[in-house]
């Protein structure tokens, strides 16, 4: 068996997610190659070559792959997928955008959001917002899979894979990049943070999210939000945790002014320790919280910050 | 320009599902069903394009059992002009649905196809992308803004790091994210009118598409239950527990 892993890039650098996807590839077993596609991605390729268990890093460095638009990326994957038994990517917005195109063009199914590997053809994936876990078996010749990174611990960085250039240049006259507005933050990535503190509608407005800053600073935490907080315009969309936002599984998750709708729980209930701060002692979030503190967040947060 | 919208019948998003005792599947007997929330957003966007004079006709399509006609009627009540029901009792998975939708695209020649980004039952997030690949059309997934501009459409996409805008040539495939719009509710007179709007019934065989998949569902289990813990009385107690009991601080 041989496995091709499409690497995630973040502003041209290798994103943390890829080390988790390589771990999933190791669980499947076989030779593992990584594909880096983008423009000016040598540094990402060097970083990928250090990941443990990687055989070869294939680098498609060309302007047509900048911003990893779906159309040329799909064509590239189709071109390169011959000879592989599995093609994997993280279930990031890039993986989700690109991989189904490969699957369709190869006339195979895609398994989305896989969080466990039983064998080379049998996998676990969440359905119904994680309220059920399906075991699915694929008899397709090529298995196209997106990986939920929280299901696999990242591999180490003591490898030394070979790096090889890919010559294929896809054509693309259908789509073009216009602009990107990326959130700028010095905090850790939501997906990889050890501690996450999230605010919900109870925060009242965007200004009040500053109450979370001091605590996040002290704990080295990433800041997340419920959909209600994002919809209300308190914070940008990239902070949304949940079924349709980001899936996180930190050591500590602190939910502040969040009621605990199933769609929100779907994104955080695999956290090791959950703390809920809510003024309503019947809020469903308390049913999953290890430690619940009933009270007004506007009093609790400043006290918590000063005592940490 | 004609706009095609794909709608899916799924479990209502408020329902908490249960796994069957024999672990063969989730138990959907007598569960409330509804239109997938992302598909409601897709219908709303199409109808708004028509109201703005950008679209001339809105066609809703679904693949599913007889009962899925309820969701087509909802789409018609919300403003779609006609509907196509591709009837099957088989579990049609994304690739088969995408193949069927590709045939409909071929027949109808829409300028824009709008789908939900994911269905809240299987959470696959792939049908629109597969359709784009099969029809060789560009895709704008997870859209929070769709602006048709002559021969092009600008789609603003919700990506992990923030927002990305791409320009696509038309025809194009768009999948909706939550913040694209807020769907309206169907009014009673519109629900009545919808009953008279045309609804074509077809089968996968009419399109020569095989629905069977090479993926089989071996079993379905409930995730590890998370037990509620304790309530603490004060910030001091919380910090103490986190330090000394949970050891996460
Ligand atoms: C298709 C679909 C997908 C969805 N996807 C997601 C998703 O990915 N992520 C997500 O989060 N949601 C998602 N939702 C929305 C979800 O159903 C809930 O509406 C949302 O999570 C509610 O957010 P909330 O808990 O912040 O708000 P609310 O439910 O309004 O809860 C606010 C809470 O704050 C508490 N509160 C208020 N004031 C204070 C105070 N001063 N001090 C302490 N506590 C206070 C209240 O007691 C209440 O419990 C989705 C919904 C649908 C239909
Ligand atoms: C292993 C496996 C297990 C399954 N388990 C279940 C199950 O437990 N219960 C169950 O009901 N089904 C099940 N199905 C079938 C499943 O419900 C879907 O029909 C199929 O997987 C399509 O994926 P999706 O809806 O998640 O696609 P997504 O890509 O998440 O859907 C995105 C969008 O595509 C469009 N779309 C998707 N399906 C249709 C459709 N049928 N008609 C029109 N537009 C559509 C909609 O616009 C939708 O918003 C299963 C399928 C497989 C392969």
Query: Which H helix or E strand runs over B10?
Result: strand B9-11
Q: Is the beta carbon of B33 within 6 A of some atom in ligand 2?
A: no
What is the distance between the alpha carbons of residues A137 and B214, in angstroms, rounded to a whole number?
Answer: 8
The partner residues of A37 in beta bridges, in order of sequence, read A60
Arithmetic mean of pLDDT, A165-193? 93
The answer to whether residues A145 and A275 belong to one domain is no
| Tokens describing residue A262 | 């199933």
**pLDDT tens digits along A28-43:** 999 999 999 999 999 9
The answer to whether residues A137 and A245 belong to one domain is no
The answer to whether A188 and A222 have CB atoms below 8 angstroms apart is: yes
**pLDDT tens digits along B149-206:** 999 999 999 999 899 999 999 999 999 999 999 999 999 999 999 999 999 999 999 9
What is the distance between the alpha carbons of residues A154 and A218, in angstroms, rounded to a whole number?
Answer: 25
Report which of A158, A84, A290 is spatially closest to residue B246, judged by C-alpha positions.
A290
Arithmetic mean of pLDDT, A287-297? 97
The answer to whether residues A15 and A155 belong to one domain is yes
HSE of A127 in the Cβ direction (CA atoms, 13 Å)? 25
Strands B162-169 and B152-159: antiparallel
Residue A176 resides in a domain: no
Residue A240 resides in a domain: yes
What is the distance between the alpha carbons of residues A155 and A157, in angstroms, rounded to a whole number?
Answer: 7
**Does A263 show up as a binding residue in the annotation?**
yes
The pLDDT assigned to B226 comes to: 83
Strands B9-11 and B33-35: antiparallel
The pLDDT assigned to B170 comes to: 98
State the CATH number of the domain containing residue A217. Answer: 3.40.50.1220
Which residues 163-192 on chain B approach chain A with CB closer than 8 angstroms? 163-169, 172, 177-179
- Cβ atoms within 10 A of the Cβ of B212, count? 11
Report which of A257, A242, A254 is spatially closest to residue A308, judged by C-alpha positions.
A254
The pLDDT assigned to A185 comes to: 82
Residue A258 resides in a domain: yes
The pLDDT assigned to B123 comes to: 84
The pLDDT assigned to A186 comes to: 86
The answer to whether residues A160 and A43 belong to one domain is yes
Residue A266 resides in a domain: yes
Any idea where the domains of chain B sit in the sequence?
2-245
Q: B44 to each of A69, B33, B246, how far by Cα in Å?
A: 26, 19, 47
Q: A144 to each of A59, A124, A147, B91, B209, how far by Cα in Å?
A: 20, 14, 10, 20, 21
Q: Nearest 5°: phi and psi at A31?
A: -70, 140
Domain that holds residue A231: 190-307
**pLDDT tens digits along A63-116:** 999 999 999 999 999 999 999 999 999 999 999 999 999 999 999 999 999 999
Q: A225 to each of A6, A198, B187, how far by Cα in Å?
A: 28, 5, 33
Question: Is B121 in contact with A131 (Cβ distance < 8 A)?
Answer: no
| Tokens describing residue A113 | 């959001």
- Cβ atoms within 10 A of the Cβ of B101, count? 28
The answer to whether residues A128 and A251 belong to one domain is no
The answer to whether residues A145 and A30 belong to one domain is yes
**pLDDT tens digits along A192-235:** 899 999 999 999 999 999 999 999 999 999 999 999 999 999 99
Q: Is the beta carbon of B121 within 6 A of some atom in ligand 2?
A: yes
**pLDDT tens digits along B197-238:** 999 999 999 999 999 889 999 999 998 888 888 999 999 999
What ipTM was estimated for this complex?
A: 0.92
The pLDDT assigned to B219 comes to: 95
Rounded to two decimals, what is the model's pTM?
A: 0.88
Question: Mutual orientation of helices B69-78 and B37-51 as an angle, nearest 10°?
Answer: 30
B235 interaction partners in chain A (CB closer than 8 Å)? 293, 300, 303-304, 307
**Does A12 show up as a binding residue in the annotation?**
no
The pLDDT assigned to A198 comes to: 98
The pLDDT assigned to B184 comes to: 96
The pLDDT assigned to B16 comes to: 85
Is residue A189 over pLDDT 90?
no
3-state helix, strand, coil in chain B (%, to 5): 30, 30, 40
Burial B174-186 (b: 16+ CB within 10 A, else e): bbbbbbbbebeeb
Arithmetic mean of pLDDT, A256-265? 96
**pLDDT tens digits along A115-147:** 999 999 999 999 988 889 999 999 999 999 999
Mean pLDDT for all residues in chain B? 95
For domain B2-245, which CATH number applies: 3.30.230.10, 3.40.640.10, 3.40.50.620, 3.30.390.30?
A: 3.40.50.620
The answer to whether residues A241 and A152 belong to one domain is no
| Tokens describing residue B209 | 């598409």
The answer to whether residues A115 and A13 belong to one domain is yes
Atom of ligand 1 nearest to the CA of A298: 41
Q: Is the beta carbon of B37 within 6 A of some atom in ligand 1?
A: yes
Residue A50 resides in a domain: yes
Arithmetic mean of pLDDT, B58-64? 98
Compare B213 and A7 and report the one with higher pLDDT: A7
Atom of ligand 2 nearest to the CA of B86: 42
The pLDDT assigned to A100 comes to: 98
The answer to whether residues A161 and A18 belong to one domain is yes
Q: What is the count of structural domains for chain A?
A: 2
For tokens 């696509």, the residue is: B168
The pLDDT assigned to A191 comes to: 85
Q: A129 in contact with B at a CB cutoff of 8 Å?
A: yes
The answer to whether A233 and A252 have CB atoms below 8 angstroms apart is: no
User: Which of A220-224, A302-306, B122-126 shows the lowest per-residue confidence on average (mean pLDDT)?
Assistant: B122-126
The answer to whether residues A48 and A98 belong to one domain is yes
**Does A227 show up as a binding residue in the annotation?**
yes
Proportion of chain B above pLDDT 90, given as a percent: 89
Burial (CB < 10 A; 0-12, 13-18, 19+), residue B138, is buried
From A203, A261, A279, A302, give the residue whose CB has the most ligand 1 atoms within 8 Å, as the site to mutate.
A261
- Cβ atoms within 10 A of the Cβ of B67, count? 10
User: A120: which DSSP letter?
Assistant: T
Which residues 225-284 on chain A approach chain B with CB closer than 8 angstroms? 227, 230-231, 236-238, 243-244, 246, 251-252, 262-263, 269, 272-275, 281
Q: Nearest 5°: phi and psi at B191?
A: -65, -40
Q: B67-71 — which CB contacts under 8 Å span 24+ positions?
A: B67/B9, B67/B33, B68/B8, B68/B9, B69/B199, B70/B9, B70/B33, B71/B7, B71/B8, B71/B9, B71/B34, B71/B35, B71/B39
Question: Is B133 in contact with A291 (Cβ distance < 8 A)?
Answer: no
Report which of A145, A143, A86, A156 is spatially closest to residue A116, judged by C-alpha positions.
A145
Q: What sign results for the dihedral spanned by CA atoms A80, A81, A85, A91?
A: positive
The pLDDT assigned to A247 comes to: 93
Please give the full DSSP string across B23-45, using - where no structure is assigned.
Answer: SSSB--TT--EEE-HHHHHHHHH
State the CATH number of the domain containing residue A119. Answer: 3.40.50.620
The pLDDT assigned to B133 comes to: 98
The partner residues of B9 in beta bridges, in order of sequence, read B35
The answer to whether residues A147 and A215 belong to one domain is no
Question: Is A238 in contact with B159 (Cβ distance < 8 A)?
Answer: yes
Q: A89 to each of A5, A7, A93, B37, B160, how far by Cα in Å?
A: 6, 7, 10, 26, 14
Residue A252 resides in a domain: yes
Residue A231 resides in a domain: yes
Q: What sign results for the dihedral spanned by CA atoms A221, A224, A229, A234?
A: positive
The answer to whether residues A83 and A9 belong to one domain is yes
Beta strands in A17-165 (DSSP E): 31-38, 56-61, 86-90, 110-114, 116-119, 122-127, 132-138, 143-147, 162-165
Residue A181 resides in a domain: no
User: A153: which DSSP letter?
Assistant: P
| Tokens describing residue A178 | 């216009």
User: A150: which DSSP letter?
Assistant: G
**pLDDT tens digits along B65-75:** 999 999 999 99
Report which of B239, B245, B2, B198 is spatially closest to residue B114, judged by C-alpha positions.
B2
**pLDDT tens digits along A161-176:** 999 999 999 999 999 9
Angle in degrees, CA B65, B69, B71, rounded to 5: 110
B91 pLDDT band (50/70/90 cuts)? confident
């Amino acid at each position: 068996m041989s496995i091709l892993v499409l690497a995630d890039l973040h502003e041209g650098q290798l994103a943390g997610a890829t080390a988790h996807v390589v771990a999933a590839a190791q669980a499947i077993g076989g030779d593992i190659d990584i594909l880096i596609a983008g423009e000016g991605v040598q540094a990402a390729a060097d970083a990928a070559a250090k990941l443990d268990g990687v055989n070869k890093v294939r680098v498609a460095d060309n302007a047509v792959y900048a911003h990893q638009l779906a159309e040329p990326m799909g064509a590239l994957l189709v071109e390169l997928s011959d000879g592989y038994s599995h093609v994997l990517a993280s279930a990031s917005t890039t993986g989700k955008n690109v991989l189904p195109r490969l699957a369709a063009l190869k006339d195979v199914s895609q398994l989305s959001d896989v969080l466990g590997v039983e064998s080379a053809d049998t996998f676990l994936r969440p359905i119904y917002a994680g309220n059920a876990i399906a075991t699915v078996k694929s008899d397709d010749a090529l298995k196209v899979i997106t990986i939920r990174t929280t299901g696999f611990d990242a591999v180490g960085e003591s490898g030394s894979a070979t790096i090889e250039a890919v010559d294929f240049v896809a054509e693309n006259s259908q789509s073009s990049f216009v602009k990107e507005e990326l959130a700028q933050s010095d905090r850790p990535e939501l997906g990889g943070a050890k501690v996450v503190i999230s605010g919900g509608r109870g925060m009242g407005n965007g200004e009040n999210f500053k109450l979370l800053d001091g605590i996040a600073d002290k704990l080295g935490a990433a800041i997340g939000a419920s959909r209600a907080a994002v919809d209300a315009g308190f914070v940008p969309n990239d902070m949304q945790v949940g079924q349709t936002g980001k899936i996180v599984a930190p050591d500590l998750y602190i939910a502040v002014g969040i009621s605990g709708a199933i769609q929100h729980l779907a994104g955080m209930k695999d956290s090791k320790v959950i703390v809920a701060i809510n003024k309503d002692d019947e809020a469903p979030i308390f049913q999953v919280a290890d430690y619940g503190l009933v009270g007004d967040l506007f009093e609790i947060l400043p006290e918590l910050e000063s005592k940490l | 320009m004609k706009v095609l919208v794909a709608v899916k019948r799924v479990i209502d998003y408020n329902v908490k599902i249960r796994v069957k005792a024999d672990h063969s599947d989730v138990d959907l007997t007598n569960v409330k069903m509804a239109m997938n929330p992302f598909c409601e957003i897709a219908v709303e966007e199409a109808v708004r394009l028509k109201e703005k004079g950008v679209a001339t006709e809105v066609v809703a399509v679904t693949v599913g059992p007889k009962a899925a006609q309820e969701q087509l009627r909802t789409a018609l009540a919300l403003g779609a002009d006609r509907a196509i029901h591709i009837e099957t009792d088989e579990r049609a998975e994304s690739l088969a649905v995408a193949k069927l939708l590709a045939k409909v695209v071929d027949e109808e020649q829409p300028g824009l196809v709008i789908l939900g980004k994911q269905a809240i039952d299987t959470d696959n997030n792939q049908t629109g992308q597969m359709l784009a690949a099969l029809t060789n059309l560009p895709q704008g997934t997870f859209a929070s803004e769709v602006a048709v501009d002559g021969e092009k459409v600008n789609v603003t996409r919700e990506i992990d790091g923030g927002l990305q805008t791409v320009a696509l040539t038309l025809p194009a495939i768009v999948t909706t994210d939550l913040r694209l719009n807020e769907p309206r509710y169907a009014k009673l007179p519109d629900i009545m009118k919808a009953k008279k709007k045309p609804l074509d019934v077809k089968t996968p065989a009419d399109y020569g598409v095989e629905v069977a998949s090479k993926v089989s569902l071996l079993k379905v289990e409930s995730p590890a239950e998370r037990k509620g813990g304790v309530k603490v009385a004060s910030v001091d107690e919380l910090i103490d527990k986190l330090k000394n009991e949970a050891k996460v601080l």
